Structure 1
Amino acid sequence: MVSCSNSVENMPMVPRFLHSQNRLKDLLLLFSTLIIFYLIFLLHHLHTPKTTFIPNPDYTPTTPPPSTNLSLSHLFFSIAAASSSFSLRLPYINLWYKPNSTNAVIFLDTPISSTPSVSSPPILVSSDTSNFPYSFPSGRRSAIRIARIVKDTFDLAKNVNFSNTRWFIFGDDDTVFFTENLVSVLSKYDYEKWYYVGYNSESYEQNEKYSFDMAFGGGGFALSAPLAKVLAGVLDSCLMRYPHLYGSDSRVFSCLAELGVHLTHEPGFHQVDVRGDLFGILSAHPLSPLLSLHHLDAVEPLFPGMTRIAATEHLFQAVHADPARILQQTVCYDKSNLLTVSVAWGYAVQVFEGNELLPDLLSRQPTFRPWKRVEATSSTML
């Protein structure tokens, strides 16, 4: 018989007391380690100085920050005007300007002989811009003056206190603003940050030129106070780089683009680059509050049988009653008589036979026609 060297019978027996000794050593090592860590913690605690709170007798709780609620007093309007047409455009300004509550100033190209009434904003003459180059063929140098009104506004700081101003609004003398709605819309934004708020033109060609990122000045645009201050500081040097542009809008847009600021779109601003009857646009106004209307002296009266000014005054009767709801569309269905009623608040009521689908009523009726600007200017318009 062959025996194996690794058989159980030949394996040496391990005494049990050796296992017990190894386990005891492990426990002693663990216990010693814990004791060492405890002593280190105790020594550190004993040598750490204790801090004592001593009340400051001069301490007073900080006053709460001022109210962030936006009001009309926080807005400042700068309006570009020309002396040749000022008397015809002033009635549009007086529709929305209120002497005791609206902060505004009008910048003219040349002085006028007549003195406006106290119901109109103060009138100033824009600074000289003859040293700025302008090279657009058949364009108007007044574009430089109008763009530079941003800086002219801040030059008023010597005599005007802008510490309470949160937003600067820029527009033309034929721009009609809806001030209560402006306050409501701008209150959505942090006025301490850089904001450029406005909207595009009704012309696709003009919008496409600037990637739908430019606010059109006739419709008006708003700059938060910090951004307006920075823009005013760099505007002169920036204008020297853009003599080839047509209008003021593109100059302001280009200078803001250099600052890295994009347009915040608010569809309530209306450039109104159309002609004819605005009924199709106004009766299908978006749910956004109405903020401005432009070119009202170049379209048909808002209400038939009236002059343009009288028709706009008539619209403002509804604006004064309920500014937030003006032109907001409401659609109702009369099932028993199979009628559809569409109401543009303060402006129009339309009754249709049958049940019209809502999307069909939201689209604009083609009651207007394109502006058809001069071909030479449309390629690099505004």
Structure 2
Amino acid sequence: MHSLHKSTTGHSLINFLLLFSSFCALYVLTSVLLLVLGTSSSLLNLHSSSNNVLIEPSTTTTTLDHLVFGIASSGSSWPKRKEYIKLWWNRTTMRGCVFVDDDVNIGPLKAEEKEKNGEDDDYSLPPICVSEDTSRFRYTHHGGTRSAIRVARVVKETVALLNHSGVRWFVFGDDDTVFFPENLRKTLSKYDHRLWYYIGANSESYKQNWFFGFGMGYGGAGFAISSSLAKVLAKVLDSCIQRYPHLYGSDSRVYSCITELGVGLTHEPGFHQVDFRGNAFGLLAAHPVTPLLSLHHPDYIDPIFPNTTAIKALQYLFEAVNVDSLRILQQAVCYDRRFSWTISVSWGYAVQVFHNHLSLPDVLKVQQTFKHWTKGTTMADLYSFNTREFHPDPCRRPTIFYMDNLSHDKDGIIISTYKKSFQNCSSNVASPNGPPEVIKVATTKLVLDTKQLQAPRRQCCDVLPSSVPDMMDIAIRECKEDELIYMH
């Protein structure tokens, strides 16, 4: 009996110890799990207020209706600059406002400004918004104007506008910024608007970048801010810009406040500040392999097509934009083995025939057809891209052909025709071994998906046999997988 009792007691003790150990193990495991979950919850809460939150990809396509534009203008500049806005604005599909100062005088429209249907010519423009008073803000930069504060606050006032349901991106620019909306929409669609994005580009001028900052999105080129970031920026902008009375421009203030939020610039080379003067041909003819998003300073450069006005030249460019927006200015290079010619096609704008063999890296350098933006220092002649000489002797330059017209055939092939410019060398007369008078380029409409936008590749072109005297036929196509662009 005693032995049996002792054995039973031993088993009970062992069972108790096993049960107690299991309870302790369960308690420890539960505590650790709660600690992990609590930490994860804290981290999730922390991340949800920043750019690092893990979210599902957007399932709907970005449309123009998802973009809201804030355009900075003034009462004095708007009457002339609105002609640039008319080039790209569509009031039926786009949202935004033009911000002017208190002294703006819209005034009655003249009779010649009425459309044929009797409606105001200005009906197709964005609505006018009068900026809020900025007298409470300090401005101490001696070389600039107080309007820089008003223009910086366009960001805050645009976000505050009503009827912005479903907005994904806020886009900001000047009244002389010519945007290419379809390309802008397509480019922004590769980014998730629910993350904090500040997207723009530097100046072409090294001196401007050195002085104002390489990390800033220049306001004349235009920049885009995701809606998630813009809403937070709008809350803190006024308190932030109080710390920067010494800055020169509005874009410097916006950049500084976004920097204080811990966000850096995402570079998109399709935005163009155009900080130079004179002939912009070199830059336009060597556009990077990315959609053209904007052009600034049309009043400071020559008309981009010869023998016309600045506004008419841009209207002409938009004829090609309206046919194939994504392809505009996209550069394809091919070689004519018969004469050892190098041919560069900047679609919708110009074709160049170099009368010698140039390697592709040399063709892609920007010909310095323009003059520096400012004077006085060695840095004024430095640019943020590779340049090469534009020879002062026209007979040592490539033969240039400017776009003349566009047409479609029944198979959806787009034919663009380019005629030799009168600005070429006078000795360049038609001959069996001389350049043609007309160049015809055949393409299909350029369609780019998100992967192609994220990893762009230049297209190839071929010089085709032509049965028409003094005419060259060229076809642009996708390059083969292992195809190299060089003189065979």
Q: TM-score range by the shorter chain?
A: 0.7 to 0.9
Q: Per-residue displacement from partner, 1:197-244 (whole Å, max 9, x unpaired)?
A: 000001112212455110000000000001111111001001110000
Unaligned runs of 5+ in 2: 1-13, 23-55, 109-120, 381-488
Counterpart of 1:231? 233
**Is 1:123 the counterpart of 2:116 in the alignment?**
no
Q: Does 1:177 align with 2:176?
A: no
CA deviations on 1:262-319 (whole Å, 9 max, x unpaired) are 0000000000000000001000110011000000111100001010000000010010
Alignment equivalent of 1:111, drawn from 96, 104, 121: 104
> Which residue of 342, 348, 360 maps to 2:350?
348
Superposed displacement of residue 172, structure 1: 0.3
- Equivalent residue for 2:243? 241
2:90·2:124 contact (CA, 8 Å) conserved in 1?
Answer: yes
Residues 215 and 65 of structure 1: CA distance in aligned 2, closer, same or farther (over 3 Å): closer
Equivalent residue, structure 1, for 2:412: none
Q: Which residue of the partner structure matches residue 360 of structure 1?
A: 362
Q: What is the alpha-carbon distance in structure 2 between the residues aligned to residue 339 and residue 265 of structure 1?
A: 35
Q: 1:143: which partner in 2?
A: 148
**Cross-structure match for 2:71:** 79
- Give 1:373 deviation, angstroms: 6.8
Query: Equivalent residue for 2:416?
Result: none
Match of 1:337 among 320, 336, 339: 339
One-letter amino acid matched to 1:263: L
Letter in 1 for 2:78: F
CA distance in 2, matches of 1:66, 1:335: 48
Three-state SS of the structure 1 residue aligned to 2:122 is coil
Deviations 1:122-155 (A, max 9, x none): 0011000011000001310000000001111122
Distance change in 2, residues 1:65/1:258 (3 Å): closer
Change (3 A) 1:370 1:339: same
Alpha carbons of 1:204 and 1:358: their partners in 2 closer, same or farther (altered >3 Å)? same
Distance, in Å, in 2 between the alignment partners of 1:219 and 1:289 is 14
> Residues 1-382 of structure 1 correspond to what in structure 2 (within 5 A)?
67-109=59-101, 110-114=103-107, 117-156=122-161, 160-372=162-374
- The amino acid across from 1:366 in the alignment is Q
Supply the distance in 2 between the matched residues of 1:66 and 1:328 (Cα, whole angstroms).
29
| Counterpart Cα distance in 2 of 1:193 and 1:70 | 15
Distance in 2, Cα, partners of 1:223 & 1:374: 35
Measure the CA separation in 1 of the matches of 2:295 and 2:326: 15
Determine the C-alpha separation between the residues in 2 that align with 1:104 and 1:233.
19
- Separation of aligned partners in 2, 1:101 and 1:280: 33
Structure with max Cα Rg = 1
Looking at structure 2, the residues matched to 221 and 142 of structure 1 have their Cα atoms a distance apart, in angstroms, of 19
Which of structures 1 and 2 has the larger relative contact order (alpha carbons within 8 angstroms, sep 6+)?
1
* SS at 2:231 equivalent: helix
Secondary structure of the structure 2 residue equivalent to 1:324: helix
**Structure 2 Cα separation of the partners of residues 65 and 358 of structure 1:** 38
Give the distance between the partners of 1:100 and 1:265, measured in 2 at CA: 30
Q: 1:150 to 1:242 in 2, by over 3 A?
A: same
2:149 match: secondary structure:
helix
After TM superposition, which residue ranges in structure 1, 4 or more long, deviate above 2 angstroms? 64-68, 113-116, 208-211
Q: 1:65 to 1:245 in 2, by over 3 A?
A: closer
Q: Deviation string for 1:26-66 (max 9, x for gaps)?
A: xxxxxxxxxx99xx99xx9xxxxxxxxxxxxxxxxxxx997
Per the alignment, do residues 67 and 374 of structure 1 end up closer, same or farther by CA in structure 2, a change over 3 Å counting?
A: farther
